[in-house]
Amino acid sequence: MADLANALTANPRPSTPQSFTRHLPEDVLAIIFRLVIDEHYAHSDAPFQPCAPQLVLASVCSQWRELSRSMRHLWTTVPVGADPSHAAQCLIRSGELHLRVGVQFSVHPWSSDRSEPDLINQVHRALYPFTWHIKTKLPVNRIFLVKRVREVAMSVPPSLVSRFHTQGVWRRHYFPDVRTLYVSLKKTRDEVSMEAAAWLLERWLPTSPYDLSWAGPRLFPKLHHLRLDGLHLPQWSLRLPSNLHTMELHLIDAPQRKLQKLDHNSISLSHLWDDLGSLAHLNRLSIDFADAFSGVDIIADISLPSIHEINLTTQSLSLLSNISKATRMPSLRRYTLALTLRHRSVLDPPAGDEIVSSLRCFISQLPPLHALYVLHRTSTRTAIVTVAAASHFLDWPASVAQDALFDDTNLHITFTCDVRSRCASTAETFLGAALECMASLSDTHPIDSLEISLDDDHLTTFVCSPGVIGRFQKMQKLTCHDGHAELISNLLQNSTLLPHLKTLATSSLDPVGAATLDALSDMRKGLSHLTLPNTDILRDGIR
């Protein structure tokens, strides 16, 4: 779909569209248009891209122009830098649909009166087409009411956020319909150059301290979702809006640190965790720590009573450990973790103990889990271990998107390591720690169904060994896509291994495997065998 979107929104050649569209009915074209637009705007940073794919589609031919203009859905996003005529088109052609508007702040244009960037003029130009002026008897005698805007995507360098207060940028504005606020704190090379020029010409010194107090209920009374990109965690409170229900934090990455001349990636979590503890309605939290690692600060224990889902992405075990020990979430229903090992790093046994401890803190707070899924896939550069669990057995449809395989799980952990970093032993250490954690919580998480799909013989031997798989004593159904011959042999040799097993599912067996299975069936009365189809969702869907 991305290739289709790129092809259709590339600079068109007027001579080609007629042959392509001559026999396409409008309802088919409408579906294509919607797919193209949805693909483009599905990316969170789409409002920061100045291109408008609907305008490209409309320029192909008269048929496309008339159809695109009639589809209100195509005109609901106004990117940053949109000229007034395009903004007016979006306002009219979107009908009464809610809008997504991009706003960009920059060092340029300059205010000679203030001797600093003119932020008031910038926000006025971006929001003017969507603003109603209302006279009041309040000290601020005119309110700028921004209607129909459901989402604001704001690109603002950190050095300018503090100017929101000093210039009173939002003092007169009111967004009654905004539910989502996306703030990108990333800088471009042009912005860095303009800041340097402002210092040389005007002796303007950018200031870094900032907070989010300006985004409170007075400005956004219905704000539920906040996303911050390029965040460099400060040594003070962010003063997050109190009415948030969901929040995404993406910390600054290495390229941005280099661009902004920040010399280290050590972070302190204490102020952020204090901020989170003050959000009484927060039910979903996602944090991507990039390559940051935890400093020496100690996080005070906090309770997040409303959190139903937490999603963490990190490269630091110490950071994960600090968070897990300090966070209580009595309402937790879903936990996802993406842990990536640094380039050529390895996990030693003590690190495995740290993983067990960190995972146990989170998993013990989940509702009872019954179905467990263990996967391993190797590419040319990385190896990925996936451990997922759900409160019920997942019955996938005939076709399911790869990225949606584990949407219904309560637990979804992915561990990625470099194939050049003693990959086999590293993957075994992590997988062993994850399975040990699950087995140790059998009283609260009675796993009775396990599905294994491993493309590494060494890992298959490890997982199917009595010392690992035998710890799941309550298991009733076992599905093994790879290495099933060794598993069947282990079950045959050890009559007490998985004593409650009722169903064994494997791929097709060779004659030796079939004979071993017959012997196992004779020994274990009541054990049934299922042959997996050649195209299995779990095995083939993640390749």
Encode pLDDT of 462-495 as tens digits. 998 899 999 999 999 999 887 677 788 888 888 8
CB of 487 closer than 8 Å to CB of 463: no
Give residue 447's pLDDT: 96
CA distances from 185 to 51, 232, 448 (A): 21, 9, 46
CB of 454 closer than 8 Å to CB of 376: yes
Q: Is 15 a residue whose pLDDT tops 50?
A: no
CA 292 to chain CA centroid, Å, is 17
Write the pLDDT tens digit of every residue in 209-236.
788 989 999 999 999 999 999 998 888 8
Sequence-separated contacts (24+) of 131-139 with Cβ below 8 Å: 131/173
Give residue 543's pLDDT: 44
The neighbouring-strand residues paired with 227 are 182, 248
Provide mean pLDDT across the span 437-445. Answer: 94
Q: Where are the alpha helices (DSSP H) in 98-188?
A: 119-127, 158-161, 163-167
Model confidence at 436, pLDDT cuts 50, 70, 90, reads very high
* Least-confidence region, from 16-20, 65-69, 425-429, 469-473: 16-20
Q: Before 330, cis peptide (omega within 30)?
A: no
The neighbouring-strand residues paired with 288 are 250, 313
CB of 326 closer than 8 Å to CB of 300: yes
Q: Is 442 a residue whose pLDDT tops 90?
A: yes
The amino acid that residue 180 corresponds to is T
Q: What is the pTM of this model?
A: 0.88
Rounded to 5, what percent of the chain is helix, strand, coil?
35, 20, 40
Give residue 20's pLDDT: 53
Give residue 399's pLDDT: 59
Residue 422 zone, left/alpha/beta (φ > 0; ψ -120 to 50; rest): left
Residue 525 to residue 528: CA distance in whole angstroms: 9
Compute φ and ψ for 469, nearest 5 degrees: -70, -25
SS3 at position 447: coil
Q: Is 282 a residue whose pLDDT tops 90?
A: yes
Give residue 302's pLDDT: 86
Give residue 397's pLDDT: 63
What torsion do the CA atoms of 448, 453, 459, 465 make, to the nearest 10 degrees?
Answer: 30
